Structure 1
Amino acid sequence: MTSFLDPLISFVSAHAWLAYLTLFLAALLEAVPVLGSVVPGSTIILALSALVPGGELKLPFVLLAAALGAVLGDGSAFWIGHRRQREILNSWPLINYPRLVAESENFFRRFGTWAVFFGRFVPPIRAFVPVTAGALGMPPARFYAVNIPAILAWAPAHVLPGVLAVSALHKYAGLPHHEHVGKHIWILSVVGVAIVLGLTFWTIRRRYGSGIAPARPPA
């Protein structure tokens, strides 16, 4: 993995727009069923976020690229499942991954609608949850009402650890450090914690399993 990431980081650090495109594609492909379970999207995002403290990349744009890729990836997978319903779970290529499909369905039985939120943080079923949500009949409005906040929490959770680690290293080693990074991290950390705490409180007040429509039997 290191032999793959090192030249990638070196290249995109010299071409900022390619770095943002890579972040977008990494987040998007990570949400694609099957492909998302093998593409190291989270690793790529974490590695490229290390370029923020030095000023090669801008933190808001890194977060935006990752969030937009995740929204498009999750949304596309959901609509495929929504259109084909349960048939998609018994079709190629998902039929070749019965264990992951079963885990995704069990995830819904346990958490209901909020499986969409929690699933975004649980690889490798993260790539199977959106299509499963569509296949099991979750209304689009309900899906996005949970999916968007999940992504807004997921993006900082994946980006900020790399930024914080390298920022601390730059400070300790006396390396060049972008002066606005600390302020952005503080603000985003507070916002992220507030979002997670608010959604957790709401989840506790709701009954698990009430937000998913019953699964339709295979055709």
Structure 2
Amino acid sequence: MTSFLDPLISFVSANAWLAYLTLFLAALLEAVPVVGSVIPGSTIILALSALVPGGELKLQWVLLAAALGAVLGDGSAYWIGHRQQREILNTWPLTRYPRVVEESETFFHRFGAWAVFFARFVPPIRAFVPVTAGALGMEPARFYAINIPAILFWAPAHVLPGVLAVSAFHQYLGVPHEGHMGKHMWILTVIAAAILGGLGVWLYRRRQNGVGIAAAAKPPA
């Protein structure tokens, strides 16, 4: 694995713009309805943030790329809902996820405008609430007044755990930033944790979707 990490780290160091672009796209696609339920955006962001303490990526640009991607993704979904109104919730591909759409509507009715803030931290409805907010008539000014602060909290909450975990390896376990096997081990550990976490979320979503489909297909008594 270290033979793979050496060129990977060198590539990221020499092409940091591509890592920032990946962060931007991961955050953007995670906010797109349906697509966001299968793209492991949070896992990608966490894994790449592990490269910050070693200097391969800069924290401020990682945060900016993630935040801009989320703003554009949420905003695009909101405007689609805003223009097509409730009709969008009854069209493909949203009709393939009736349970999540229903949960998003329930979430929105329960928390009102603040659903836009809270949903940023609740997968998988994170990818459905912005379009739902637009479809249910939430005003643009109110949407952005809540969505942008939510993203300003969300971005550090996704980036800093990877950064802090790697920094803890350096500071408390005596792992050096540069030089030998230790450099690769902390990156490998954080990436592995991110992958396992993403896999767990994916399996949970599949299980929930399976339960919802089975319930919908069950004939009435």
Q: Calculate the TM-score normalised by the size of structure 1.
A: 0.75
Assess, with a 3 A threshold, how the Cα gap between structure 1 residues 29 and 56 changes in structure 2: closer, same or farther.
same
Aligned AA (1:96): R
Shift of 1:175: 1.3
Of all paired residues, the percent bearing the same amino acid is: 81
CA RMSD in angstroms comes to 1.9
Please name the residue that 1:83 is paired with: 83
Shift of 1:12: 3.4
Give the secondary-structure state (helix, strand or coil) at the position aligned to 2:137. Answer: coil
Shift of 1:109: 1.4
Shift of 1:174: 3.5
Please name the residue that 1:24 is paired with: 24
Structure 1: 5+ residue stretches without partners: 178-219
Contact 1:9–1:47 (CA under 8 A) maintained in structure 2: no
Please name the residue that 1:45 is paired with: 45
Please name the residue that 2:104 is paired with: 104
Aligned AA (2:177): P
Shift of 1:176: 1.9
Assess, with a 3 A threshold, how the Cα gap between structure 1 residues 42 and 13 changes in structure 2: closer, same or farther.
farther
Please name the residue that 2:176 is paired with: 175
Contact 2:12–2:56 (CA under 8 A) maintained in structure 1: no
How far apart are the structure 1 equivalents of 2:6 and 2:24?
18
Residues 106-131 of structure 1: CA deviation (Å, up to 9, x unaligned): 00111000000000000000000100
Residues 90-144 of structure 1: CA deviation (Å, up to 9, x unaligned): 0010011000000000001110000000000000000001000000000000000
Please name the residue that 2:124 is paired with: 124
How far apart are the structure 2 equivalents of 1:166 and 1:19?
18
Aligned AA (1:29): L
The runs of at least 4 consecutive aligned structure 1 residues that moved more than 4 Å come to 6-11
How far apart are the structure 2 equivalents of 1:31 and 1:7?
32
How far apart are the structure 1 equivalents of 2:136 and 2:6?
42
Give the secondary-structure state (helix, strand or coil) at the position aligned to 2:52. Answer: coil
Please name the residue that 1:193 is paired with: none
Residues 167-202 of structure 1: CA deviation (Å, up to 9, x unaligned): 11122233128xxxxxxxxxxxxxxxxxxxxxxxxx
Assess, with a 3 A threshold, how the Cα gap between structure 1 residues 120 and 64 changes in structure 2: closer, same or farther.
same
Aligned length: 173
Aligned AA (2:107): F
Give the secondary-structure state (helix, strand or coil) at the position aligned to 2:56. Answer: coil
How far apart are the structure 1 equivalents of 2:49 and 2:34?
25
Larger displacement relative to structure 2 (83-92 or 165-174): 165-174
Please name the residue that 1:183 is paired with: none
How far apart are the structure 1 equivalents of 2:6 and 2:175?
25
**Residue 113 of structure 1 pairs with residue 113 of structure 2:** yes
Give the secondary-structure state (helix, strand or coil) at the position aligned to 1:123. Answer: coil
Give the secondary-structure state (helix, strand or coil) at the position aligned to 2:55. Answer: coil
Which structure: greater helix fraction? 2
Assess, with a 3 A threshold, how the Cα gap between structure 1 residues 29 and 158 changes in structure 2: closer, same or farther.
same
Aligned AA (1:28): L
